[in-house]
Amino acid sequence: MESLQFETREHQEFIPRSKLEELCIKASPDQNKSPRMTKSAGKARNARQQPQADPAFELRHLPKPPVTDLGVTPRIQGFLEVCLRLVH
C-alpha cells in the first residue's frame, strides 16, 4: 500500500451535547428575584406549594465527549498526526 488518505470534516453526535447542556443550565424561577422579594413572597409561595422543575442532571455530571471536534478519539488523532509527520 503506497498511500492511505484519512479525512474528517465533521461529525454528528446522536444526542447533541449543546441540547444536553441547555437542559442542565435552565435557570430556577426564583433565581432573578431580590432577597426582600423572596422573603415576602416566600409565605405566599408556601401557601401555593407549586412543584419546582429541577434539572434531571447537573452539568458537572455530564461526561466529557470521548471524541475531538473531528470525531475521532484523542489517541487516534495523535497517531494520525504523528504518521502524517513521518510520511512527509
Question: What does the domain layout of the chain look like in residue ranges?
Answer: 17-87
Task: Catalogue the long-range contacts made by 65-74 (C-beta closer than 8 Å, 24 or more residues apart).
Answer: 65/13, 65/17, 67/11, 70/8, 70/10, 70/11, 71/8, 71/10, 71/11, 72/8
Alpha carbon distance 18, 67 (integer Å): 15
Q: Would you state the cell numbers that stand for residue 59, as one nine-digit string?
A: 452539568
Is pLDDT of 48 > 50? yes
Q: How many CA atoms lie within 13 A of 37 on its CB side?
A: 6
Residue predicted with more confidence, 66 or 48: 66
Alpha carbon distance 18, 15 (integer Å): 9
Per-residue pLDDT, 69: 79
Determine the average pLDDT of the residues in 39-66: 66
Determine the average pLDDT of the residues in 16-27: 77
